[in-house]
Every structure is written in C-alpha cells, then in structure tokens.
C-alpha cells in the first residue's frame, strides 16, 4: 500500500511523518502525532486543509483517507486547554514545563530572525487573506468566502452574545452583510476566527502602538500576528536567520517574536505608517459619493442605507 507523508507544525517545531498509509486509523494517527509533537492525545487539536479546518479526532476506527487526509498534507497541531479538572502531580507538571521551556529557549536562540510584513491585496478582504496566510503560508484570495461563512454561522447560532447592540445591526442582517465580498472585517471577526481555529491572533495596531490579543483568555498554545494600520491588515512572518522557511505560527512562550512585534508597532507609529481614520477618503460604491473620514462614512450609511465603501 502506498505510504503517506505528512508535515506537522506545532509549538515544538516542524516534523515530517512518513510511516503512514491510507488505511491508518485516526487512533494510530493521534498516537503518532502525540509521540512526535509531545502533545498528549487527550488535548490534541489538529487543523487540516486550506482554509484550515478542524480534523474530527473522535472516530478512532476511521481511516485517515476517509477523514480527508491526503499524502503530502500539512497538519497544524496544537494543544487544547483542558476544562477545569484535577491537576496532574505537581512534580511531573513542573518537570515537563521546564523541559518545554528549555527546548523553546534553545530553538529561539538557534533560529532568531526578523519579523517582516507580507503585503496582501487591499480588496476589502485583507483581514481574511492575512489570516489565511499565517495559517497556511500562502496568499489565497479564495479563503475569504469560506471564513465569512464561518463567521456568519457562528453569529447566527449565538444571537444572545451577538446581539444588535454588539453587531451594530440586527443579527440576521449582519449575517447576510458579512458574507458579501465588499464587507470589511474587524475585531468581532478576528475574535470568532481565533476561537474557531484555536489560535491566539495578535493584531499589531500601529496607530496606537499596541498589540490586541484575541483569544488571550482561552490559553491557546500557539499565536499568529497581523499588522493593522487603521484600515488595512497584513500578515507578519518570521524570516529565520538560519535561512530556513518563513514561520507564521509561534508558541505563546516565544517572547522574542512578541518583543519584535511590539518594537515594530512603536517604529511604525513613530514614522506614521498608519492611516488616520478621520482623514482618509472613501468612495461609496453604490452612489459614487466621496466621503472623508470614518464619521462621514458612518453618517452617509445611516442617511442612505448604503454600506459598500472602497478606499481611494
């Protein structure tokens, strides 16, 4: 039977697993992934495909090919935070944490690089394109429609938390609005996608020189970084000094990359590499009116019902 080769990305680095085939069960896959990544099976969370989607790990006897896993696939492996339960013996926990910290520290020292911006198109879907890039390492403009559907479904299924007061419009109206390709994403959308993908999404806001951490309270093990200039989002990636492939997903414990993101925000603000939302010019796509600043655009939307704008 033809063998499978899978690439794993986790907080413990990148690995290639070769000793699998189409008939390998989900149970066997979990055992192998747990062995390689040092993440216990009980808290494994695996994302697959593009845009990445959670792999169902509950069907132990199902083959990986039946579950949608193909030869050459990249699996993003992370550790799900357990619900409140009895803690393991303290000595073992401390020992494991110490080993992990030592490993991460050594990896950081041996592979320090520079945090860079990957420019994506300013097409009203830059947020979704940027998230797609940090998840899978490529600019794919088709991922936006899928992410919009994810958000619409999450919002529709939770009308209590996603009320008109939160969304700024009735829940059903928002769900239709976010699915349109011209609708911009923001904090609400980042928060939903952070929870869906099981990753902390850190937005480096260069207007205010701060980092907004979405999913910080969920204790996710991995994080990604986006750059926000007041209007446009771009993904950030690490160019390793060793010359290896760019990195976009980082362990929460990696203080080096977080410090670089903070410094990037300060330098960008100092050089005014941001868009002043009170002075930028928008064009109403529905009536061609030119509008200056966020407030004028909002007033126009209230007055006319027009909600489709493009940046000049």
Question: Does one domain contain both 160 and 218?
Answer: yes
**Cis ω for the linkage preceding 51 (within 30 of 0):** yes
Residue where a domain stops, chosen among 56, 79, 102: 79
- Of the residues 143, 175, 205, 232, only one is catalytic, namely 232
What is the distance between the alpha carbons of residues 180 and 222, in angstroms, rounded to a whole number?
30
> Do residues 275 and 232 make contact, with C-beta atoms less than 8 angstroms apart?
yes
Question: Does one domain contain both 18 and 112?
Answer: no
Buried b (16+ CB within 10 A) or exposed e, 47-85: bbbbbbeebebeeeeebbeeeebeeebbbbbbbbeeeee
Enclosing domain of residue 55: 4-79
Question: Does one domain contain both 125 and 214?
Answer: yes
- Of the residues 21, 73, 111, 306, only one is catalytic, namely 306
Q: Would 264 be classed as within a structural domain?
A: yes
Q: Would 85 be classed as within a structural domain?
A: no
pLDDT values of the chain reduced to their tens digit, one per residue, 312 residues: 556 778 787 777 777 787 888 889 999 999 999 998 888 998 888 988 766 788 899 999 999 888 888 887 888 888 876 544 444 444 454 455 555 545 544 554 445 688 889 999 988 899 999 999 999 888 988 899 999 999 999 999 999 999 998 998 999 999 999 999 989 899 999 999 999 998 999 999 988 888 999 999 888 889 999 999 888 899 999 888 777 788 899 988 888 899 999 888 887 666 654 444 445 567 777 787 877 766 677 677 778 876 566 656
Q: Is 15 a catalytic residue?
A: no
Q: Would 206 be classed as within a structural domain?
A: yes
Q: Is 300 a catalytic residue?
A: no
- Of the residues 45, 126, 284, 300, only one is catalytic, namely 126
Q: Per the structure block, which two tokens stand in for 75?
A: 């699996």
> Do residues 265 and 204 make contact, with C-beta atoms less than 8 angstroms apart?
yes
- Of the residues 60, 123, 158, 276, only one is catalytic, namely 123
259 to 95, 251, 255, 265: CA distances (angstroms): 27, 13, 6, 10
Question: Does one domain contain both 196 and 231?
Answer: yes
Question: Does one domain contain both 37 and 168?
Answer: no
**Other residues' Cβ atoms within 10 Å of the Cβ of residue 2:** 6
Q: What is the pTM of this model?
A: 0.60
């Amino acid at each position: 039977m033809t063998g499978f080769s899978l690439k794993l990305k986790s907080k413990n680095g990148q690995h290639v697993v070769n000793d699998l085939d189409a008939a390998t069960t989900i149970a066997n896959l979990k055992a192998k992934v747990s062995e390689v990544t040092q993440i216990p099976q009980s808290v494994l969370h695996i994302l697959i495909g593009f845009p990445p989607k959670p792999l169902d790990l509950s069907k132990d006897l199902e083959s990986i090919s039946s579950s949608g896993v193909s030869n050459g696939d990249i699996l993003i492996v992370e550790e799900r935070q357990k619900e409140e339960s009895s803690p393991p013996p303290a000595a073992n926990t401390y020992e494991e944490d110490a080993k992990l910290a030592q490993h991460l520290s050594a990896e950081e020292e041996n592979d320090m690089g520079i945090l860079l911006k990957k420019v994506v198109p300013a097409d009203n879907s830059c947020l979704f394109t940027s998230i797609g890039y940090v998840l899978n390492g490529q600019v794919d403009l088709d991922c936006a429609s899928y992410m919009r559907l994810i958000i619409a479904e999450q919002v529709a299924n939770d009308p209590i938390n996603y009320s008109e007061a939160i969304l700024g419009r009735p829940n059903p109206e928002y769900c239709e609005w976010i699915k349109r390709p011209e609708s911009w994403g923001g904090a609400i959308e980042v928060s939903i996608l952070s929870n869906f993908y099981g990753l902390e999404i850190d937005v480096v806001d260069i207007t205010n020189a701060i980092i907004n951490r979405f999913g910080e309270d969920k204790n996710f093990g991995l994080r990604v970084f986006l750059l926000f200039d007041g209007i446009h989002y771009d993904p950030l990636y690490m160019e390793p000094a060793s010359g290896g492939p760019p990195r976009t997903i980082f362990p929460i414990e990696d203080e080096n990359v977080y410090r670089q993101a903070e410094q990037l925000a300060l330098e960008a603000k100092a050089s005014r590499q941001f868009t002043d939302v009170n002075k930028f010019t928008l064009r109403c796509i529905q009536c061609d009116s030119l509008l200056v600043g966020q407030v004028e655009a909002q007033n126009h939307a209230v007055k006319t019902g027009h909600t489709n704008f493009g940046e000049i």
